[in-house]
Structure 1
Amino acid sequence: MEYKRGRYSWLLRPFLIIFDLIVINVLAFYFFDFNQSNLNYFSFDFLNNKHILYGLYATVLWLISTSFLKFYEVYRYTSTVNIFSLIVKQVLVFTIIVYAFLGAYRSIDIPSYSALEYLLLCFAGITTAKLVSYFGLKSFRTFLKGNVRRVIIVGKGEGAQELKQLFTQRKALGYSIKGVFANSDNHKFTGNIADSFIFLNEGNGIDEIYCAIDELSEKEVNDYVKYAEVNHCNIKFIPTTNKLLTKRLQTDYYNYLPILSMPKVTLNNDLNKFVKRVFDVIFALMIIILVLSWLTPVLFVLIKLESKGPLFYKHKRNGINYKEFYCYKFRSLKINKEIEGTYITQNDDRVTNIGKFLRKTSLDEFPQFYNVLKSEMSVVGPRPHMLSYTDDYSKKIDKYNFIFRHNVKPGVTGLAQIRGYRGEIKNDEDIINRIKFDNYYIENWSLLLDMKIIFKTIINVFTGQKEAY
């Protein structure tokens, strides 16, 4: 997630949108004499006024077209060439929009030169405002030292050094480097990786962290991501030259240097998050009221009769953005010292008799609906991993895919689970396919897909899965 930084610069985008809409509507009133036609195409009086109709038409299609073309997505690292490219694209699209309206109303006799003058003046004003705001902010950063981002760079590779040089030389970008950290004895670095966390926790007001991801362990990546999430700090990744492209993370270019950041996936936009959260709460309450209300006391008796110990077992897992939380299960093991970093294997003698049934039917997972109510998990999503497994798994697969997987809440059930990739990891193919299905789910999420996964999970509860033991 990209956090907005700065006191007032975030107001610039809505100001430009409002200014552009005023320009295209005011100039239309001046150049187009729509009311010369006496023909009525609509029964409502206000729609017979072609100025009002054109205003609604132009405003809606302007907002839609600029959204698709990302016309207002201009950042401090956006080049002037890219800005002119956006302007040219929008000129072409809006020209089609205007002539489509004029063509639809053949009764309106607007001279072609009037439409052309209208378009030229519109984009003269819009381009001027866009360039003034762009270069005005650059001057503000260069000469007045305002609108500055406080950053640290983590890494010693070529990409990290190139980024440091870019930020140092291009003052107009507005990046102030507060430290460069790497595991090296070279005196040019502020400190090592461990020192960077001390520096961050001292409250130095860092806005962005740039990490050379391939130089870091999975634990270090986790720690940076968790810090960024808690402190509303943006985290971005510097790839090595042989990994410039990745479909999982968003790629921006600072000059010619690619920088990766966590994308805002469809599942995480505000509307979809709200829809999924409402569904999660309703579904979790149904399970708790209709199933757990009577299943819990029954299992309490059965579990206690077979072995001593608590009814529930809780263990730490990684959630969204690597946040740690306690995941709940019905206890299926005898009370003995857990061997760290081990999944239950087939015919494991730690599993109780009632535990075998619970694990075969996945009923041991049902207490996780309490995690859903606490907003730590979702009903459907990637299954949460043990902390001890996170580092091991990341060594077997691409780090970018692994980070992408932790971009959403984990689920009680998931696509990988119903496809058989659950439980014990016997070989590298198991974890690679698990991540593949998890990422497919994130990229292709819909309520219909959630329903399909839940339906298949319910079938598995009654039929069991050979991987469930």
Structure 2
Amino acid sequence: MKFKRAYYIIPISLLFHLVTINLMSYVLTPDTYINAFSIIYLNTTWIMVTHMLNFYPTARREGFMTNLSNFLRVFFFYALAYFALFALLGHNPYSIDYLTMVYLFMCVLFTLYRMFFFWARNKYRTSGHNYVKVVVIGRDKNLKKIRHVFDNSNFGYWYLGYFDNSISKSPTYLGDIRSAFTYIFENDIDEVYCMASRLSKEELQQLMSIADNSLKRIKIIPDNKELISRAMSIELYDSVPVLNLRASPLELEYATMVKRIFDIIFSSTVIILVLSWLTPLVYILMKFDSKGPLFFRQKRHGVNRESFWCYKFRSMTQSNESDTMMATKNDMRITRLGRILRKTSIDELPQFYNVFIGDMSVVGPRPHMEFHTEQYEKSVDKYLVRHFLKPGITGLAQIKGYRGEIVEQSDIVNRVRYDIFYLEKWSILLDFRIIYNTVFNAVKGEERAY
């Protein structure tokens, strides 16, 4: 027998997580596991956190990386509950370092289980189990796109074909739309996908009636006029579906909060541990090298195209071109000390003050001069999309090689493309990756760092 759905997946996952929590507590922190309160607390808080964050119900198309942000949210909120237990107990026989190690070990086991779960599920589905039979009613440009989803064996779809009033010799053509209604019941179809562009109002109403009076799942693919993109999301305002044309993970309050907390911690660390001694050192060296102030400040456009003062260590002689002309290779304005500062990206470090006060973020699109924003918003498609989020000291475009001088039009076009990708795919893990690569490139030295 080939099972279409595996209802035991969620109970098994919950059982594994609870067994892991209890076993780890019993073995590694036995002094906190000797009373009923601790046992009930550890298990109940896990169930409450995972329930509130809708952790266990998994979509058919979900993979290891699909909902990873929610997975990390569970880790974060359960950590708060886990460490709060020791405050509630009134005594703590273990050091905070040891408890942190225990909790991290627990998270590693959860992650390994998640990896194993999706690996096993994919193997199970590719062997012909846990599938749903689907057909499509109507054929338009979206049919080819959705076929790519159905043909992915990891998702567990069994695509049987499509119906359309335009006769076709395609091997997956099953007949006209009217014949679809009989076929759906005779072949025990689980899900029916309907192209709204190819169906009349009466046909859609008939399909909705079938959905309301049977155990068939009817899904409508809207007539999107080729507007739908991966960055869009559908939001419900009461019963009215609304398309959000530029959805981003950073629109979520928790994501904004996590990113801001990280910015404050990271920037204050750099200010205290690095800039506190580096600033006077650069000031002394600069006095021997060239005349002018220690800091260079410039009006740049930030989030929502609002202007702010961006700070850097001065690396050039003072000139009237500073607000209109980017640094170029072998630029005569750059001082001897400035070449070192720019080559190592040390000149950018004062921007951590901008991060601390909230004008910038550690990671985000690099802020441009007001002059260049006015220039590129007219000549580069989607240029202003990058202003939906705070500018950063470093960004995805920079680690991909698009930093510094704009030599060709493709330089700014690709920079904007990576900035938009970052906006749409942001995660805290992506930020960590960008920071790591930025530090690595600074140590290694970059060709375009001049």
Normalising by structure 1, report the TM-score: 0.47
Higher relative contact order by CA 8 Å / sep ≥ 6: 1 or 2? 1
